[in-house]
A and B are shown apart, each in its own frame.
Chain A
């Protein structure tokens, strides 16, 4: 049997085998065992067969053999013969695909000649009626065209206009996106490189008939072609020849009237693309028509996106007309265009408060950024007119609108001429805005500094103008910017309107990046001088400190800030200040340190300047008999602790080891420490914070120790002989604290140490014994005051629970049991806040052991026991359970609560009946999440929920503003969260009941009531968009 026959038999049964047969045949040809002619001849009978599939398969065999041949095997004559043969076969509609495979193979042969390419093109144009074929076959035809166009373009160009017209006819009516991608890229080549003079319109129509692309990518599209891909390729075709302008622009503008935003956007983007791509002389003919149509899209914009695209187009036209222009030329097309645009915009801006004024200002800034020449022309055309109009305006509101309208021109100038610090070279054309510099400086300065204080937005316009102008490179001189900085300083320091102060500070921050030296030289001394020397009643220092802190994140500035603040602190303390001012001074240091840390800077280097200084200043007055000062106020100590902690945390193991030793010398060992910068001996003698007999002030400094130890890495061991003894000592102290915050500091320190360091079996045994003993004392206590170990138990449990330690379970279990205890229950109920609340000292950042899911574990451990206990608890003790539950819920993610909501909901509902605002708020907050997340469950209880929430919205002792607000907010979620048939029965009841909160004595509650009522009112109304 001849190979063709074998192939035909095999192809349906086993394509793999058929492919092998074809390959073997190719090998035989290569080895000259078979002659090409006889192979071709052997196909004869199949090619005349009546069955079209047999004809197709025979050509398929031939194509597969050709594909397998080495590209250099065939002689030029052979290639030509085969090409001719395949081209003839194109007449047979059956087997188009296979013929194309063959053509692709033959076109890949190295001896494929230009004439062969022409022959292929002609034959395809002549014989193929692609409409009759599926998209897959058409795809192959386009691939053949693509192949010869990339390999033999010259030959095809040589065919003259025939090729272009042939191609256009061939692809008419193609709709498949994958095919269109090939066609568009071929068309672009034809437009750019082929002679299409005689058939321009025809080629143009072949492209433009696809505009606008409305294709939507189907889901699971195997080719991954998006509408944007098609749009981009099509636009490249339309942009490819300036000669299309005559057809394109009129048709595009017609489509701009479309109602579809998508079409409009496409039109505008195409105009932008073509304006930038076409020759300047072409755009010169069309700018007027284009401008007339496009301006409408900006001036009457209802869609900001479209206005943006339209501005792009307006800018692109100016850019195109700017080509090759280096100076302003009266006769240039650019000049004419800009004159038309500016004239129209100026007319609009005569009434700067009209709706179209702002868009006109945007247009001006759009053309001004197009090029330096466009900038110069625009500025020269509009600024004189705008100034005249400005001078004639009498109402402040209009003046303000005018100042605001000019602002975008400053941004445009900064874009063309750069901002300070830019390294790019500015354009050679000098900045036209300079001619108006003095006038603008005066107008905007007067607006900011010379108008009534109530005219906030007018003054803001002045401030913005000055800021924007100050940014422009080489525009204002340093002394002028210095003056502006002084204006801003004055506003920040003295203005009574906070919007003004904020905006001025914002501007100073901008300038501090562009002109840092001016800020250091002018702003810093001015602000420092403004800080009072003693605490004053109205807060004269807070904004100043806040401003200084924000300006001080850079290192050199921060050094200056530190010096000044420490000096100020001295003076303030000498003047017997209360705690408020020192607190603020130190907080500003803390703020800068935090900011520096957040921006990745190493703050441990500030140790020497800050930590010994602060600790000495805090401790010394407690030792020298002066009776202490505001630095030992709890709030100030807390800040000091935070600063110390933040800096130590940033240190490595080695430095931490040193620091912690010096620290313990002061607080524990009573030795001379390098951390004390003045009289070391005095501190050794007089500072006893851990002695029972010590005073409140010294005792309170423990918070610094706790904060510092909390920041120590676990690898660094504490300089103590026995940690257990130390903990014992601290617990002892905690039994008779100086005040609650002293106890809290001690307990936090204990928790930190246990969490980080108590790991050995011995430590664990110690803890078990310790807590056992503590329980004994708690259980024998007759009142909660007598149960002095109760707080420590909570903190120890917390330290252990955080690291998922089993030792925590028995402690927490017993704590839950005593909820029912008449004497202790109330206190224990509240104590659960400690157990689950976040403590900043016990955090991962502080190297504490915080295991994943520790909160969840504790939650899962507690909740069932709470729910069980609640059921059997005495009526009086039920409250304690709800209190504990509320503390837990407040401190865990709502996801956890939702998982247990089935069992918790009844308790939550009951807690709404408690006379405790805090619990009520917490429960309502939880319920609010529940309403959206557990709709089914809420729907079951909806009636009692609504009754209770409405009750909670009535003002009384318990229902504080917070409770009422939370209740109304929760109610307002119902209509959108739950199914309509569940809520609609309550609509009338609620609409009526909400009339009362509408008359709530507090405004904020009324607001919630109005919103809530509107939501319920809309319920059942038809949706607007349907």
Chain B
């Protein structure tokens, strides 16, 4: 405990962290859940479901607009691109190596500092290259753990993103005294590979990643 680098960092309230606005009501509280139970008309499919008739019943009585709000039926066809929020969700739950707090709570990872760019898909190349840039903000500008944190982010993304993504992890400009040095380390393939061979370091990393949800 003696060598804590920043003992009293600023922390964000978990409820203030950016989250995806849930389009459906699945993640809601009991009260909304009750509201749902009270007002959600069962779908005609559920009501008239009958294992004995080959085709479902005529839908004559169900013309009204109220019955078609069925968001359990996910629209299978609509693709959802990997976006900044998704990247944020992947890495903001990584634990800080010295506090029992997440990188999101410590504002080391911030949604506006994540950038995803997709090349347009073409018929010849339906899965074009994509690029993700994550800029991390150390809690103080001499934080010697910045490299470890950056490495953690990098390892997590490499595990969790499809191979067509190019990953770029950097220290945000002006937030650390040796930005260039750290950036070089984080984006040098061989150095990263070498770091991943180091067992002590991997032990620290796997502890940090253990909290990813």
Contact assessment for A1013 and B160 in the assembled complex, using a CB-CB cutoff below 8 Å: yes
Contact assessment for B76 and A542 in the assembled complex, using a CB-CB cutoff below 8 Å: no
Complex contacts, A1001 vs chain B, CB 8 Å: 78-80
Complex contacts, B16 vs chain A, CB 8 Å: 397, 400, 456-457
What is the interface of chain A mostly: helix, strand, loop, or mixed? helix
Given known A354-B8, A579-B66, contact A550–B41 (CB-CB < 8 A): no
Q: How far is the CA of A955 from the CA of B80 in the complex (A)?
A: 14
Contact assessment for B39 and A502 in the assembled complex, using a CB-CB cutoff below 8 Å: no
Among candidates B47, B57, B80, B160, residue contacting A998 with C-beta atoms closer than 8 Å: B160
Interface set, chain B 179-204, CB cutoff 8 A to A:
199, 202-203
Please give me the residue from chain A that is nearest to B101 by CB atom.
A355
Q: How far is the CA of A501 from the CA of B31 in the complex (A)?
A: 9
Complex contacts, A739 vs chain B, CB 8 Å: 48, 57-58
Q: Chain A CB within 10 Å — which of B41, B47, B99, B127 has the most? A: B41
Q: Does A758 contact B (CB under 8 A)?
A: no
Complex contacts, A744 vs chain B, CB 8 Å: 50
Contact assessment for A834 and B51 in the assembled complex, using a CB-CB cutoff below 8 Å: yes
Among candidates A546, A635, A790, residue contacting B38 with C-beta atoms closer than 8 Å: A546
Contact assessment for A543 and B35 in the assembled complex, using a CB-CB cutoff below 8 Å: yes
Q: Quick check: which of A719-727, A846-854, A896-904, A1016-1024 contacts chain B, the rest being far away?
A: A1016-1024
Q: How far is the CA of A785 from the CA of B55 in the complex (A)?
A: 11
Q: How far is the CA of A961 from the CA of B67 in the complex (A)?
A: 23
Contact assessment for A354 and B10 in the assembled complex, using a CB-CB cutoff below 8 Å: yes
Q: Does A657 contact B (CB under 8 A)?
A: no
Q: Quick check: which of B108-116, B142-150, B161-169 contacts chain A, the rest being far away?
A: B161-169
Q: Does B129 contact A (CB under 8 A)?
A: no
Q: Does B7 contact A (CB under 8 A)?
A: yes
Given known A501-B31, A506-B31, A580-B41, contact A999–B65 (CB-CB < 8 A): no
Nearest Cβ on chain B to A917's Cβ, whole angstroms: 10
Q: How far is the CA of A382 from the CA of B25 in the complex (A)?
A: 42
Q: Does A881 contact B (CB under 8 A)?
A: no
Complex contacts, A740 vs chain B, CB 8 Å: 48-50, 52-53, 57
Q: Does B140 contact A (CB under 8 A)?
A: no
Contact assessment for B31 and A634 in the assembled complex, using a CB-CB cutoff below 8 Å: no
Complex contacts, B30 vs chain A, CB 8 Å: 502
Q: Does B64 contact A (CB under 8 A)?
A: yes
Given known A635-B41, A827-B51, A961-B76, contact A1013–B159 (CB-CB < 8 A): yes
Complex contacts, B174 vs chain A, CB 8 Å: none
Q: Does A891 contact B (CB under 8 A)?
A: no
Q: How far is the CA of A591 from the CA of B212 in the complex (A)?
A: 38
Q: How far is the CA of A456 from the CA of B61 in the complex (A)?
A: 41
Contact assessment for A545 and B35 in the assembled complex, using a CB-CB cutoff below 8 Å: yes
Q: Does A401 contact B (CB under 8 A)?
A: yes
Please give me the residue from chain A that is nearest to B203 by CB atom.
A1024
Q: Quick check: which of A49-57, A800-808, A1002-1010 contacts chain B, the rest being far away?
A: A1002-1010
Please give me the residue from chain B that is nearest to A633 by CB atom.
B61
Contact assessment for A995 and B66 in the assembled complex, using a CB-CB cutoff below 8 Å: no
Contact assessment for A546 and B35 in the assembled complex, using a CB-CB cutoff below 8 Å: yes
Complex contacts, A741 vs chain B, CB 8 Å: 47-48, 50, 57
Interface set, chain A 555-585, CB cutoff 8 A to B:
578-581, 583-584
Among candidates B8, B34, B37, residue contacting A355 with C-beta atoms closer than 8 Å: B8
Complex contacts, B86 vs chain A, CB 8 Å: 1003, 1006
Q: Does A263 contact B (CB under 8 A)?
A: no
Interface set, chain A 740-787, CB cutoff 8 A to B:
740-741, 743-744, 784-785
Q: Does B54 contact A (CB under 8 A)?
A: yes
Q: Does B13 contact A (CB under 8 A)?
A: yes
Please give me the residue from chain B that is nearest to A1017 by CB atom.
B159
Q: How far is the CA of A960 from the CA of B42 in the complex (A)?
A: 22
Mask of A146-184 contacts with B, CB within 8 angstroms, 1/0: 000000000000000000000000000000000000000
Q: How far is the CA of A351 from the CA of B10 in the complex (A)?
A: 9
Q: Does A791 contact B (CB under 8 A)?
A: yes
Given known A739-B58, A1001-B80, contact A1010–B34 (CB-CB < 8 A): no
Q: Does A833 contact B (CB under 8 A)?
A: yes
Nearest Cβ on chain B to A518's Cβ, whole angstroms: 20
Mask of B2-17 contacts with A, CB within 8 angstroms, 1/0: 0000011111110110
Q: Chain A CB within 10 Å — which of B32, B51, B199, B209 has the most? A: B51
Contact assessment for B8 and A584 in the assembled complex, using a CB-CB cutoff below 8 Å: no
Q: How far is the CA of A772 from the CA of B25 in the complex (A)?
A: 50
Complex contacts, B53 vs chain A, CB 8 Å: 740
Complex contacts, B203 vs chain A, CB 8 Å: 1022, 1024
Q: How far is the CA of A505 from the CA of B160 in the complex (A)?
A: 39
Q: How far is the CA of A546 from the CA of B207 in the complex (A)?
A: 43
Q: How far is the CA of A472 from the CA of B199 in the complex (A)?
A: 56
Please give me the residue from chain A that is nearest to B50 by CB atom.
A740
Mask of B61-102 contacts with A, CB within 8 angstroms, 1/0: 101111101000010101110100010001000000001100
Q: Does B175 contact A (CB under 8 A)?
A: no
Complex contacts, B69 vs chain A, CB 8 Å: 539
Complex contacts, B48 vs chain A, CB 8 Å: 634, 739-741
Contact assessment for B31 and A591 in the assembled complex, using a CB-CB cutoff below 8 Å: no
Q: Does B36 contact A (CB under 8 A)?
A: yes
Contact assessment for B39 and A545 in the assembled complex, using a CB-CB cutoff below 8 Å: yes
Contact assessment for B9 and A1010 in the assembled complex, using a CB-CB cutoff below 8 Å: no
Please give me the residue from chain B that is nearest to A637 by CB atom.
B47
In addition to A546-B32, A1001-B78, 8 A-B residue pairs with Cβ atoms within 8 Å of each other are A502-B28, A542-B36, A580-B64, A584-B39, A740-B50, A743-B52, A744-B50, A1024-B206
Q: Which of A's residues lie within 8 Å of B, judged by CB?
A: 300, 302, 351, 353-356, 397, 400-401, 404, 456-457, 460, 498-499, 501-502, 505-506, 535, 537, 539, 541-543, 545-547, 549-550, 578-581, 583-584, 587-588, 591, 633-635, 638, 739-741, 743-744, 784-785, 790-791, 794, 826-827, 830-831, 833-834, 955, 960-961, 995-996, 998-999, 1001-1003, 1006, 1010, 1013-1014, 1017-1018, 1021-1022, 1024
- 8 A-B contacts (beta carbon < 8 Å): A355-B9, A457-B16, A502-B31, A542-B39, A580-B41, A635-B41, A638-B42, A1002-B76
- In order of increasing CB-CB distance, the 7 nearest A-B pairs are A580-B66, A578-B64, A546-B35, A740-B50, A542-B39, A1001-B79, A999-B162
